[in-house]
Amino acid sequence: MDTNKNAYWQANLRLMLGLLSIWFIVSFGFGILLFDYLNQFKFYGWKLGFWFSQQGAIYFFVLLIFIYVWQMNRLDRRFGVEEE
């Protein structure tokens, strides 16, 4: 594999792992592991942990995919590997 493609792959992996950490934190972190702790805080009419597990995590998931798409399209162009 040439160095350009290798650099593209490394950048891709960095982006992916970064976004997956957020994915893990909002769902498994806030929605499950810290569920009871966060429930002592109130967010509008919800307990915070409850909100993350039943609403917030899903909004973050959607956001994460669109950030990924946007960033990957930029990476594709920067490394000249985009489709015609």
Partner 1 sequence: MSVQLLTYVFVALSFGLYIAIAIWSRSSSTNEFYIAGGHVHPIANGAATAADWMSAASFLSMAGIIAFEGADGARYLMGWTGGYVLLALCLAPYLRKFAKFTVPDFVGDRYYSRTARLVAVVCVIFISFTYIAGQMRGVGIVFSRFLEVDINVGVFIGMAIVFFYAVMGGMKGITYTQVAQYCVLIFAYLIPAIFISIMLTDNPFPMLGFGSTMNDGSGVFLLDKLDGLTSDLGMAAFTEGSKSTIDMFFITAALMAGTAGLPHVIVRFFTVPRVRDARISAGYALIFIALLYTTAPAVAAFARINIIQNIDGIAYSEAPAWFGKWEESGLLAWMDKNEDGRIQYRGGTAFSPTTPIFAEAIGQSGQRQLLNAATASENELYIDRDIIVLAHPEIASLPNWVVALVAAGGLAAALSTAAGLLLVISSAISHDLLKMSFRPQITEQQELRIARISAALAIAIAGIFGIYPPGFVAEVVAFAFGLAAASFFPVILLGIFSTRMNKEGAIAGMMTGLIFTFSYIVYFKFIDPVSNHAENWWFGISPEGIGALGMVFNFVVSSVVSKFTPAPPQAIQDLVQSIRIPRKD
What is the separation of C-alpha 63 from the centre of its chain, rounded to a whole number of angstroms? 7
Candidate residues 14, 21, 41, 73; the one interacting with partner 1 per rule CB under 8 A:
73
Minimum distance, C-beta of residue 7 to partner 1, in the bound complex (Å): 12
Which residue stretches of 2-80 are H helix? 3-24, 35-38, 48-51, 57-78
User: Per-residue x/- mask for partner 1, residues 18 to 57, rule CB under 8 A?
Assistant: -xx--x---xx--xxx-x---x---xxxxx--xx-xxx-x
CB of 48 to partner 1, least distance (A): 11
16 scored as a contact of partner 1 (CB under 8 A): yes
CB-neighbour burial class of residue 43 (10 A; exposed 0-12, middle 13-18, buried 19+) = middle
State which of residues 7, 14, 21, 65 lies at the interface with partner 1 (CB under 8 A): 65
Are 34 and 49 in contact, with CB atoms under 8 Å apart?
Answer: yes
